[in-house]
């Protein structure tokens, strides 16, 4: 079979890949002059902005693009009745790209499973990655000015990470997910280690490498189990076969399975809580927990962030983390919505632990980057929290649908009785019961698709807000690190008098991270998350998060207060154009998000 490839869908990662090659070539052939590094930086920046422009054009066009598709007939020869195929559209798509669900289902490509999809979810993550990437490039220009780091390799690796992050958000099958996740991770080890002859950097790189390899291995194991159970690598088909399994328990289409794999695991698939599925889900969760530095796989964050060059730390805390969350959200809500009963409680506990441990560790830190590292661990906890109410939301949707159906059937029965008094109406209900259950199931998967939208959306929205404010904080830290090598929090004492602009920027982003006015973007981000949790009925998690907000405030406000503490004897400071631009852009975005958070919320939901 010949596949037609939609290059328009692939445009953004293609541009970045070509750019990466171009940067390497330029680095090899450009004469070794001072200032050559800056040229490469500008080329990279230009390329990233061009990719962003293409992305904007795609977003404006508003068409959902898919490529690398496998027709339904090709996979396992599965015969599904129409209702099931219709319901099997990716649940997340239903929630995220509410604008175009009709054409997708009708176009016929719905029956085909695609590995690469550019929908709203992909666009948001790609935009986040590209904007954050541009800021990281600007920061890199400041970092590389020192001349100790090879420039060409740096930008090449950076661009590779960006490509991986964008591919990850667009991938809709397990293999592509794993491959692109590796593409995000691998260059980062090298980036960390590029600061040669630096003990801390080498240690950080080695730590990151080991952690990442272990987490990949764990995740691969989980992924292969998922494939084994369902016989499919496409996320939507995995979801389908789990739902079909549930249909089986309700006494539905038992004969739907023909593939040998499905038959051998039919027993496992038919009971949603089966042991193998649980193991697979937990392994996948653990693998991603490493990537996003969630407790209990968080311990690497402090050392790695501190040892790595600051732009890499920013990249780890925003781009790499966003990629990890994209993959996690994709697998959990697209492939395993029916297993929410298994993973949602685990996610709840991980979220609670992550925010608590992160905040408590951050309270004790004296180094600025280390403090930001633990604070970003804590923020991961907030991002995870909404996913934990997924099960409750699905359950409620289920209950609602069942009730609606019962009301409807009862009404119909009454109508029938009143219409035909002569006919014996007693047999009506039992005869209807089977179809009712099946219809309920189909309805459930559709309703759930709509209902889970907000849950994942809250996480995504928080991630976007967090990216902006965290980048702003890192940008200022980058600026200060150029004059203070050790970069202790105490070095920031009196910054407001030495360089008021930087101090105001840092104060604003820290207050945003704390989630207090005037840092409204942080406040609204927290409100979005709180709202989902309270709405989902997970009161204890909301209380844990409330307490954590206060703990977090303690160290953010302590740092902010240091900025405004007078310090006798100001000194000269070094300026760095690109870094100042980076601070300006990040702060501008944060301010826009503060005044009009609707920009993010409407883009996401």
Nearest-CA neighbor of 281 among 233, 217, 348, 225?
Answer: 225
Q: Decide whether 25 or 596 has the Cβ nearer to another protein.
A: 596
Q: Please, what is the minimum distance in Å from the beta carbon of residue 400 to another protein?
A: 15
CB of 523 to another protein, least distance (A): 7
Non-local CB neighbours of 466 within 8 Å, separated by 6+ positions = 318, 376, 379, 382, 383, 513, 525
Min dist. Cβ of residue 477 to another protein (A): 21
User: If residue 114 lies in a helix (H) or strand (E), which one and from where to where?
Assistant: strand 113-118
Taking the least distance from each CB to another protein, the nearer of 267 and 518 is 518
Closest CB to another protein among 310 and 600?
A: 600
Nearer to another protein, 269 or 496 (CB): 496
Report how far residue 129's alpha carbon sits from residue 158's, in angstroms, rounded to the nearest whole number.
11
Can you give the three-state secondary structure of 508-535, one letter per residue? HHHHHHHCCCCCHHHHHHHHHHHHHHHH
In whole angstroms, the minimum distance from the beta carbon of 581 to another protein comes to 21
Task: Give min distance, CB of 468 to another protein, in A.
Answer: 16
CB of 532 to another protein, least distance (A): 9
Instruction: Determine which helix (DSSP H) or strand (DSSP E) holds 498, and give its type and residue range.
Output: helix 495-498
Contact 290, 297 (CB under 8 A): yes
Give the interface with another protein as residue ranges (CB under 8 A).
461, 511, 516-518, 520, 523-524, 527-528, 530-531, 534-535, 539, 542-543, 546-547, 549-550, 553-554, 557-558, 561, 564, 596-598, 600-602, 604-605
Closest approach of Cβ 490 to another protein, in Å? 15
Pick the closest to residue 175 from 224, 121, 218 (CA basis): 224
Smaller CB separation from another protein, 227 or 497:
497
Least Cβ distance, residue 434 to another protein (angstroms): 35
* Rounded Cα gap, residues 465 and 593, in angstroms: 7
Q: What are phi and psi of 594, to 5 degrees?
A: -75, -40
Q: Would you say 94 or 597 has its CB closer to another protein?
A: 597
Q: How far is the CB of 600 from another protein (least distance, A)?
A: 8
- d(Cα 196, Cα 35) in Å, to the nearest integer? 21
Nearer to another protein, 301 or 604 (CB): 604
| Smallest separation (angstroms) from another protein to the CB of 462 | 13
Strands (E), 167-311: none
Exposure string for 354-374, b = 16+ CB within 10 A, e = fewer = bbbbbbebbeebebbbbbbbb
Min dist CB 522 to another protein, Å, is 11
SS3 44: helix
Q: Which residues have a Cβ under 8 Å from the Cβ of 469 and sit 6 or more positions away?
A: 509, 512, 513, 519, 521, 522, 586, 590
C-beta neighbour count of 199 within 10 angstroms: 8
Strands 65-70 and 113-118: antiparallel
Nearer to another protein, 210 or 561 (CB): 561
**CA 266 – CA 351 distance, rounded (Å):** 33
Nearer of residues 245 and 454 to another protein, judged by Cβ:
454
Nearer to another protein, 396 or 484 (CB): 396
Q: Cβ of residue 148: shortest distance to another protein, in angstroms?
A: 39
Q: Smaller CB distance to another protein: residue 18 or 543?
A: 543
Q: How far is the CB of 539 from another protein (least distance, A)?
A: 8
Identify which of residues 164 and 597 has a Cβ nearer to another protein in the complex. 597
With a CB cutoff of 8 Å and minimum separation 6, the contacts of 312 are 188, 191, 192
3-state secondary structure of 556: helix
Q: Reply yes or no: is the peptide bond before residue 518 cis, omega within 30 of 0.
A: yes
Burial of 251 (0-12, 13-18, 19+ CB in 10 A): exposed
**Cβ closest to another protein, residue 417 vs residue 599:** 599
As measured in angstroms, the least distance from the Cβ of 517 to another protein is 4
Nearer to another protein, 157 or 528 (CB): 528
Taking the C-alpha atoms of residue 244 and residue 253, their distance in angstroms, rounded to an integer, is 8
CB of 603 to another protein, least distance (A): 9
Name the residue nearer to another protein (CB basis): 297 or 466. 466
d(CA 181, CA 187): 11
By beta-carbon proximity to another protein, the closer residue of 281 and 553 is 553
Tokens, residue 553? 């405030």
**What is the DSSP secondary structure assignment for residue 319, as one 8-state letter?**
I
* Closest C-alpha to 326, from 291, 364, 376: 291
C-alpha 185/C-alpha 165 separation (Å) is 9
Q: How far is the CB of 497 from another protein (least distance, A)?
A: 10
Distances from the Cα of 195 to the Cα of 143, 198, 202, 311, angstroms: 10, 6, 8, 12
């Amino acid at each position: 079979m010949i596949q037609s490839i939609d290059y328009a869908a692939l445009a953004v990662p293609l541009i970045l890949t070509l750019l990466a090659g171009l940067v390497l070539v330029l680095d090899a052939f450009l004469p070794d002059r001072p200032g050559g590094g800056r040229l490469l930086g500008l080329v990279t920046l230009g390329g990233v902005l061009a990719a962003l422009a293409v992305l904007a054009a795609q977003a404006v066009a508003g068409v959902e693009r898919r490529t690398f598709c496998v027709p339904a007939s090709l996979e396992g020869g599965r015969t599904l009745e129409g209702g099931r195929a219709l319901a099997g559209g990716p649940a997340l798509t239903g929630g995220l790209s509410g604008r175009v669900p009709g054409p997708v289902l009708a176009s016929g490509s719905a029956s085909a499973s695609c590995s690469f999809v550019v929908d709203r979810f992909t666009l948001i993550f790609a935009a986040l990655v590209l904007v954050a990437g541009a800021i990281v490039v600007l920061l890199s220009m400041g970092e590389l000015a020192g001349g100790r780091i090879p420039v060409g390799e740096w930008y090449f690796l950076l661009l590779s990470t960006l490509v991986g992050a964008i591919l990850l958000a667009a991938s809709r099958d397990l293999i592509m997910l794993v491959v692109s996740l590796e593409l995000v991770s691998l260059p980062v080890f090298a980036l960390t280690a590029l600061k040669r002859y630096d003990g801390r950097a080498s240690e950080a790189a080695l730590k990151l490498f080991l952690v990442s390899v272990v987490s990949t291995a764990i995740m691969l194991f989980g992924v292969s189990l998922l494939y084994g159970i369902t016989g499919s690598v496409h996320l939507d088909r995995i979801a389908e076969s789990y739902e079909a399994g549930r249909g089986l328990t309700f006494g539905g289409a038992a004969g739907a399975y023909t593939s040998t794999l499905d038959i051998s695991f039919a027993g496992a698939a038919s009971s949603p809580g089966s042991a193998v599925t649980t193991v697979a889900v937990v392994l996948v969760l653990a693998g991603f927990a490493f990537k996003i530095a969630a407790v209990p796989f968080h311990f690497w964050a402090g050392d790695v962030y501190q040892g790595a060059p600051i732009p890499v730390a920013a990249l780890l805390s925003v781009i790499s983390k966003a990629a990890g969350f994209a993959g996690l959200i994709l697998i959990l809500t697209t492939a395993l919505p029916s297993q929410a009963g298994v993973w949602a409680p685990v996610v709840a506990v991980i979220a609670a632990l992550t925010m608590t441990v992160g905040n408590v560790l951050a309270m004790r830190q004296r180094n600025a980057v280390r403090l930001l590292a633990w604070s970003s661990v804590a923020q991961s906890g907030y991002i995870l929290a909404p996913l934990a109410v997924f099960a409750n939301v699905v359950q409620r949707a289920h209950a609602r649908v069942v009730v609606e159906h019962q009301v409807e059937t009862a009404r119909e029965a009454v109508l029938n009785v009143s219409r035909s008094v002569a006919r014996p109406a007693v047999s009506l209900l039992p005869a209807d019961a089977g179809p009712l259950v099946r219809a309920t199931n189909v309805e459930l998967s559709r309703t759930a698709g709509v209902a889970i939208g907000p849950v994942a959306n809250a996480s995504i929205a928080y991630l976007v807000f967090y990216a902006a404010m965290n980048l702003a904080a890192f940008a200022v830290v980058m600026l200060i690190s150029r004059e203070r090598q050790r970069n202790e929090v105490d070095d920031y004492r009196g910054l407001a008098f030495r360089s008021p602009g930087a101090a105001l920027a840092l104060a604003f982003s820290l207050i945003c991270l704390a989630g207090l006015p005037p840092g409204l973007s942080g406040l609204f981000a927290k409100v979005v998350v709180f709202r989902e949790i309270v709405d989902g009925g997970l009161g204890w998690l909301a209380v844990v998060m409330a307490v954590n907000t206060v703990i977090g405030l303690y160290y953010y406000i302590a740092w902010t207060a240091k900025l405004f503490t007078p310090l006798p004897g100001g000194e000269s400071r070094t300026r760095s154009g690109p870094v100042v631009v980076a601070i300006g852009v990040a702060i501008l975005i944060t301010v826009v998000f503060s005044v009009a958070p609707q920009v993010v919320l409407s883009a996401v939901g």
